Structure 1
Amino acid sequence: MKRFFILLIIITFGFTFANVSCNKKKESIKQISSANLDVTKVYNSAIPLDSVAIVSFYNSYPELKKYQEETFTLYGKHNFNQVWFDKKGLVEFGYSLYSKYLDIEREGLKVVFPYEKNLEGIFHEEIENTLDQQSTELMITNLYFFYADKVYNGLDSKVTTEIGWLLPRKQISYVNLLDSVMTHSKSSGEDIKIQIGQYYKLRAILEKYQKIEKGGGWKIIDLEPNFKSYKPGDSAVAIGQIRERLYITGDIQSNSKSNVYDPELVAGVSRYQLRNGFKSDNLILPKHINEMNRPISDRLKQILVNMERCRWMSPEIPNSYEYILVNIPSYNLTFIRDGKVALKSPVVVGKTMNKTVIFSGKMSYIVFSPYWYVPTSIINKEVKPGMAKNKNYLAQHNMEWNNGNVRQKPGIKNSLGLVKFIFPNSNSIYLHDTPSKSLFGNETRAYSHGCVRVGKPRDLAINILKEDKNWTPKKIDAAMNAGKESSYVLKNKIPVYIGYFTAWVNDNGEINFYDDVYDRDDRLAKLIFNEK
């Protein structure tokens, strides 16, 4: 029988293995979970599995029937030989799988395998296993598919489409994933990334916040009557409470218990403000304290729903040479090139009645000094009523009729500003400049009709065209200010992802919480946790 190294399994699943032999079932699961093995031998079993037993199994355990097709595919690839048992008994990978299942809350999930009692008989020596050997094999296989489905896939793609998530879902074959673990002779030396990196960062924060919750969470900060603000140098009981609150979440490194708003606390408040979508200044306002007073249960739920969103994302996204990410709740755009942040820019997104769509596309061209072709809905709701009140409405707004429609001429007052970035899509969404620069200074920036207004459009154009010899910053400036529309097709199309994450961990490991501008979190939480 061919021997295989367990290192690939560790890399693939992050599983922890115990220093026990396959037939040492009587050792506790806790011991199995906590010990580490550098190398464990996994055998390609020659123990046959009757295909008729598979059909019979699903007749007996109908709640697992959704995995029947994958089960047949798995065993077909293994010539209908068992994968969890060899001549020595249950392989250690089976114990590790069960340990991971018992610890599934670490993945932000509260789910129960439909036939959990049967698992106890398989993995605990003191409990009788009432299953025959082939049913035992199949029960473990279905535990694997159950675990992979819940942890790596999450909600069904039909459900996510219904709730407006139009970013492409990652595609992964759990049969091939398990098969690769069992058939490769050794690791290639590279991690097999099942989830996008943000998922693992959120998981680490989840563990931190769960510990805070077990420690009692944080206390409510008392707001004084008629309270307006605290400034550096002020003294109040509430300032001491704020200090304790920020110490718990790591915004300050020590708690002097002082009630004075001193420089150490000023720095901590600034850090907290930036992590929670506020502008950083020296003032503590009622809105800051109200945010601090949100119970830790709310934060835990926020982390969990964003871990779920990460399950839907392809881990291949960061492998692109360049791409653009827009996160709606943070009102921020990030342009990545060659694995590094080339540009960050504030953005304005669609208001509640004109939500920016969550989807992806490929930026293919840039339009300089663009016309703005006014959508019919805006013509009916804004332009025509304006014309009825003011006969000079079109001229005052630099607009003109064009083949029965209305368009706004190029120029600094154009609603699209001096440049727009096009990634063709059925939603008519694109990135563009805007003459309304003052809006980028607001903490809340949901004002548009659905498109994404970019706070640094010139910088974005320069970075996009940086490796194109046809363009220089001077030439870009000239095109943006020409007063005449022109387009340029990009040599390389750039993926653009417009997502929705209300909790995001930065490269420094700091959790950032953002306002749920479109009220999506609670709806998703209800789907995940079957809340009413």
Structure 2
Amino acid sequence: MSRSARERGGGDRPGLDRRAVVRGLAATVATIAALGSARAEDEVLEQLMQQSQGRNFGQGFDSASRTILMPKATLPTLDPSTAQTTEQVIPRYEEIVGRGGWPEVPTVERLRLGNRHPAVPLLRQRLAISGDLDAVVAGSGDVYDSYVEAAVRRFQARHGLTVDGVVRRQTLKALNVPAQVRLAQLRINVVRLRTLSNNLGTKLVVANIPAAQIEAIENGVVVSRHVAVAGKPDRASPDLQTRIVEVNFNPYWTVPASIVRKDLIPRMQEEPDYLTKNRIRVFDARGNEVPPGQINWHSNEAVGYRFKQDPGDFNSLGSMRINFPSQHGVYMHDTPSKTMFGEDFRFHSSGCMRVQNVRELVVWLLSDTPGWSRAEIDAVIKSGERKDARLATAVPLYWVYVTAWATPDGVVQFRDDIYSRDGLAASTAGARG
């Protein structure tokens, strides 16, 4: 569409020019005058808003007037320039803080497109100050219009939340983190990024723990991004710099002693057939299989045994496990519990990382390894046979803790300090919502 067409407010509808809009507004004003009541005025204005949305007028004007960007899927979290680009946005947030920050958005159960609510003007102001809503079109009305919805979507994308344009509890909580806390996060993470951004390699995998997200990066471009489930706050996923060396297909799962102690023993006390139902077998120190009924589950006796879950769809590792040297004994893997990937809070594991669409990541990891094409990978998984694939070239892997960063296009992202490592607990406690 040409610039002149956009300036006429035409969107994708050829016949809608400025004169047509003026004629429509004049007719609307005449109708309101004839009806002569506040209620009738509201009804007619609502019809006009719906008509404008129906012909994409608002969207066309929005795209012509705004320079606000959504996060780009191809730009990596960790890049040789990340420390510099993050440092460059700090003055922007210093200015916001210097002007008094942004307002608190009042608690609401839900706000979505078309709602009218007293909180909407403050929401507009909040989004305009942080740069998610163009100040030129921010307005001050109490109707949750398409401009506000688009700004909320951008805000959600920048904060790792479900991008649906609806303000609920998690979005409201992120909106009401004070500007001075966001500024402090940027300053803290610049220091972290300076130690992480050098000599990364041309093909690497980066798992950002607070984002619960994994990126496969090649030549500075994200070729695939994967939602992850990371460690619980009391079983944190560790920082790592290592190399991926192997993929296990249809793996057994050997239950770590910490999980036996914290999870398996209490579960067996409540559900004595849990091991049998989940096809987890018990072995003594000599490798002999032991019936679960012979173990005293009301003691720590079970810690002395080895627990091994058979391969299959029910296996806690799913159909694939990605291995790398680590003193922490952690790894990345598939999972049968795929519903967790749809949550905003994804910190449920005991330190390892579960990977959504892990098959795509594995295909990419093995792309240079003979005998492991996509078709061959699919066939092995389908067969259920236990097989291992050693990577022809080990791929650098970084598990990092980054809660604030900026990409070269100036888009700033934030994540919750899930492990309280930013040292801002006191400041964050004052965050409203």
Give the TM-score, by structure 2 length. 0.72
CA distance change for structure 1 residues 387 and 247 in 2, over 3 Å: closer, same or farther?
A: closer
Q: Is the 8 A contact 2:85 2:408 kept in 1?
A: no
Q: Which residues of 2 match residues 188-337 of structure 1 at below 5 A? A: 196-223=80-107, 227-253=108-134, 254=136, 255-317=138-200, 320-337=201-218
SS at match of 1:365: strand
Q: Is the 8 A contact 1:355 1:449 kept in 2?
A: yes
Q: Is the 8 A contact 2:86 2:407 kept in 1?
A: no
Q: Is the 8 A contact 2:112 2:167 kept in 1?
A: yes
- How far does residue 389 in structure 1 lie from its aligned partner after superposition? 4.8
The one of 409, 412, 418 equivalent to 1:511 is 412
Q: Is the 8 A contact 2:405 2:414 kept in 1?
A: yes
CA distance change for structure 1 residues 383 and 213 in 2, over 3 Å: closer, same or farther?
A: closer
SS at match of 2:396: strand
How many percent identity over aligned positions?
31
Letter in 2 for 1:303: L
Q: d(CA) in 1 for partners of 2:106 and 2:316? A: 45
Q: Which residues of 2 match residues 103-118 of structure 1 at below 5 A? A: none
Residues 371-418 of structure 1 show CA distances to partners (whole Å, capped at 9, x for unaligned) of 000111222333344445555332211111242411001111100110
Letter in 2 for 1:459: E
Q: Which residues of 2 match residues 110-509 of structure 1 at below 5 A? A: 196-223=80-107, 227-253=108-134, 254=136, 255-317=138-200, 320-402=201-283, 403=287, 404-509=305-410
Q: Which residues of 2 match residues 11-50 of structure 1 at below 5 A? A: none
Residues 457-481 of structure 1 show CA distances to partners (whole Å, capped at 9, x for unaligned) of 1111111112334222121112223
- How far does residue 314 in structure 1 lie from its aligned partner after superposition? 4.4
The one of 413, 422, 426 equivalent to 1:521 is 422
Letter in 1 for 2:114: G
Letter in 2 for 1:300: L
Q: Is the 8 A contact 1:418 1:481 kept in 2?
A: no
Letter in 2 for 1:488: A
Structure showing greater Rg: 1
Runs (4 or more) in structure 1 with deviation over 6 Å come to: 523-526
CA distance change for structure 1 residues 299 and 240 in 2, over 3 Å: closer, same or farther?
A: same
Q: d(CA) in 1 for partners of 2:98 and 2:272? A: 67
Give 5+ residue unaligned stretches, structure 1: 1-194, 527-532
Residues 171-229 of structure 1 show CA distances to partners (whole Å, capped at 9, x for unaligned) of xxxxxxxxxxxxxxxxxxxxxxxx94111111121011112222332223334xxx311
Q: d(CA) in 1 for partners of 2:92 and 2:266? A: 55
- Aligned residue number for residue 19 of structure 1: none
Letter in 2 for 1:442: E
Q: d(CA) in 2 for partners of 1:374 and 1:282? A: 41
Q: Is the 8 A contact 1:400 1:408 kept in 2?
A: yes
Residues 343-362 of structure 1 show CA distances to partners (whole Å, capped at 9, x for unaligned) of 10000000011100111111
Q: Is the 8 A contact 2:368 2:392 kept in 1?
A: no
Q: d(CA) in 2 for partners of 1:431 and 1:213? A: 40
Q: d(CA) in 1 for partners of 2:111 and 2:85? A: 33
CA distance change for structure 1 residues 266 and 314 in 2, over 3 Å: closer, same or farther?
A: closer
SS at match of 2:385: coil
Residues 18-59 of structure 1 show CA distances to partners (whole Å, capped at 9, x for unaligned) of xxxxxxxxxxxxxxxxxxxxxxxxxxxxxxxxxxxxxxxxxx
SS at match of 1:274: helix
Give 5+ residue unaligned stretches, structure 2: 1-78, 288-304, 428-433
Q: d(CA) in 1 for partners of 2:238 and 2:307? A: 24
- Aligned residue number for residue 74 of structure 2: none
- Aligned residue number for residue 113 of structure 1: none
Number of residue pairs aligned between Structure 1 and Structure 2 = 327
Q: Relative CO higher for 1 or 2, CA cutoff 8 Å, sep ≥ 6?
A: 2
Letter in 2 for 1:485: R
Q: Is the 8 A contact 2:368 2:393 kept in 1?
A: no
Letter in 2 for 1:356: S
Q: d(CA) in 2 for partners of 1:235 and 1:388? A: 53
Q: d(CA) in 2 for partners of 1:314 and 1:278? A: 25
CA distance change for structure 1 residues 196 and 523 in 2, over 3 Å: closer, same or farther?
A: farther
Residues 128-176 of structure 1 show CA distances to partners (whole Å, capped at 9, x for unaligned) of xxxxxxxxxxxxxxxxxxxxxxxxxxxxxxxxxxxxxxxxxxxxxxxxx
- Aligned residue number for residue 165 of structure 1: none
- Aligned residue number for residue 296 of structure 2: none
SS at match of 2:383: coil
Letter in 1 for 2:357: K
Q: Is the 8 A contact 1:305 1:525 kept in 2?
A: no
Q: Is the 8 A contact 1:411 1:481 kept in 2?
A: no
SS at match of 1:354: coil
Q: d(CA) in 2 for partners of 1:289 and 1:361? A: 37
